[in-house]
């Protein structure tokens, strides 16, 4: 648990430091994920401990969004003033994103069947 949590933090730190040093606008945690992914490919997979820790952390991923979500308190005024454009924008845009992403992928997969997979 301790070792694998340290591993995650070290990769996050690397992800934060490298783009700052190079002046790139890439977000740290995402780059950290990429670094860890490359390390896993090189090492041939995660150890048992790292696997368990990440499963525990990801099992309650939604918990981690609760503090930021509660921040709606301090924006109640703006939300009340502009609720209609906000609501329509979020609803329509989120639905459109789901549909566009899924249909574009489906279109690209037509005629392309992965080896050994049912179409």
Cα–Cα dist 32/19, whole Å: 11
Q: How far apart are CA 16 and CA 9, in angstroms?
A: 10
Is residue 86 part of the contact set for another protein (CB under 8 A)? yes
Q: In angstroms, give the least distance from the CB of 28 to another protein.
A: 7
For CA atoms 9, 12, 17, 18, give the dihedral sign.
positive
Q: Which is nearer to another protein, 21 or 55 (CB)?
A: 55
What residues numbered 21-60 form the site for another protein, per CB under 8 A? Answer: 25-34, 36-37, 40-41, 45-46, 50-51, 53-55, 57-60
- Is residue 65 involved in binding another protein (CB under 8 A)? yes
Nearer to another protein, 3 or 103 (CB): 103
What are the φ/ψ torsions at residue 20 (nearest 5 degrees)?
A: -65, -45
Cα separation, 44 vs 57, in Å, equals 22
Q: Kindly identify the residues of this chain, within the stretch 89-108, that bind another protein according to CB under 8 A.
A: 89-108
Rule CB under 8 A: say whether 111 interacts with another protein: no
Instruction: Tell me how far apart the alpha carbons of residues 37 and 44 are, in angstroms, rounded to a whole number.
Output: 10
Is the CB of 22 or the CB of 108 nearer to another protein?
108
Is residue 17 near another protein by the rule CB under 8 A? Answer: no
Q: Can you tell me which residue has the tokens 């906000």?
A: 86
* Closest distance to another protein from the beta carbon of 88 (Å): 6
């Amino acid at each position: 648990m301790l070792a694998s949590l340290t591993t995650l933090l070290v990769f996050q730190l690397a992800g934060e430091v490298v783009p700052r040093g190079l002046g790139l606008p890439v977000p740290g945690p995402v780059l950290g994920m990429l670094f860890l992914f490359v390390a896993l490919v090189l090492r041939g997979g995660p150890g048992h401990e790292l696997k368990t820790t990440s499963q525990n952390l990801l099992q309650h991923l939604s918990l981690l969004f609760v503090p930021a979500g509660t921040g709606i308190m301090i924006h109640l005024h703006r939300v009340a003033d502009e609720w209609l454009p906000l609501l329509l924008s979020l609803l329509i845009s989120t639905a459109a994103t789901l549909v566009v992403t899924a249909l574009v992928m489906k279109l690209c997969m037509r005629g392309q069947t992965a080896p050994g997979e049912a179409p």
